[in-house]
Amino acid sequence: MAHDDRRAIVRAYDRIAGEYLDRFGAPPPGTGDQEFITRSLALMGAGPVLDVGCGPGLLARQATEAGCRAIGADLTPAMLAQALKHAPEARFVTADARALPLRNAACTGVVACYVAHHFPRPQAGPAFAEMRRVLLPGGRLVLTAHLGDGDQWHGDEPDQVRITLYRRPELARLVRQAGFDIELFRWRNLAADEFQAEHGFLRARAS
């Protein structure tokens, strides 16, 4: 591709890794976001639970606190350095969601929080199929995602990052085609100071 999305993503997140948790880590109170994650982690047993696009390790830490073994995967070295500080009991690997360094059926759960918007449309199906590959049958996939339509560009060259927004039916179709049965799919409008898009919350079971 003419624009190297992965390198731009790494550069963009490297710059904000140290402040990411303070700026974006805590879900807005009163939205039910944290309750959704907590209930979903409780369904994943002892793990391993894979946090795809783990950033500074917030979800990996929550998984270990819930009694799960946790693995975090991220492209960005500075984010992984933060994750090691915030979730020392988890394991972390440098990896792309579209090529996970795990064997088939290695995990009881996969969590991907606000990662799907970094998948250009031709790559979204393969990314969800890769998440299905590493899950045991019956394992849970948990997605939180920005919903919408079309692509947006954020930042300045050479570090512009493409954001791809998926409509509700489109995201549900991609997840089903990857081999999942959707158990829950809800959405809400944005809260103050959030990214300007509807927020979606999806939990599905590997068929």
The per-residue pLDDT for 119 is 92
The per-residue pLDDT for 156 is 65
Whether pLDDT at 3 is above 60: no
pTM: 0.89
17-64: per-residue pLDDT in tens? Answer: 777 777 676 666 777 888 999 999 999 999 999 999 999 999 999 999
Could you please report the per-residue DSSP string of the chain?
A: --S-HHHHHHHHHHHHGGGHIIIIISPPTTSSHHHHHHHHHHTSTT--EEEET-TTSHHHHHHHHTT--EEEEES-HHHHHHHHHH-TTSEEEE-BTTB-SS-TT-EEEEEEES-GGGS-HHHHHHHHHHHHHTEEEEEEEEEEEEE-SEEEEES-TTS-EEEEEB-HHHHHHHHHHTTEEEEEEEEE---TTS-SSEEEEEEEEE-
Backbone angles phi, psi at 146, to 5 degrees: -80, 130
Q: Which residues make beta-bridge pairs with 141?
A: 110, 204
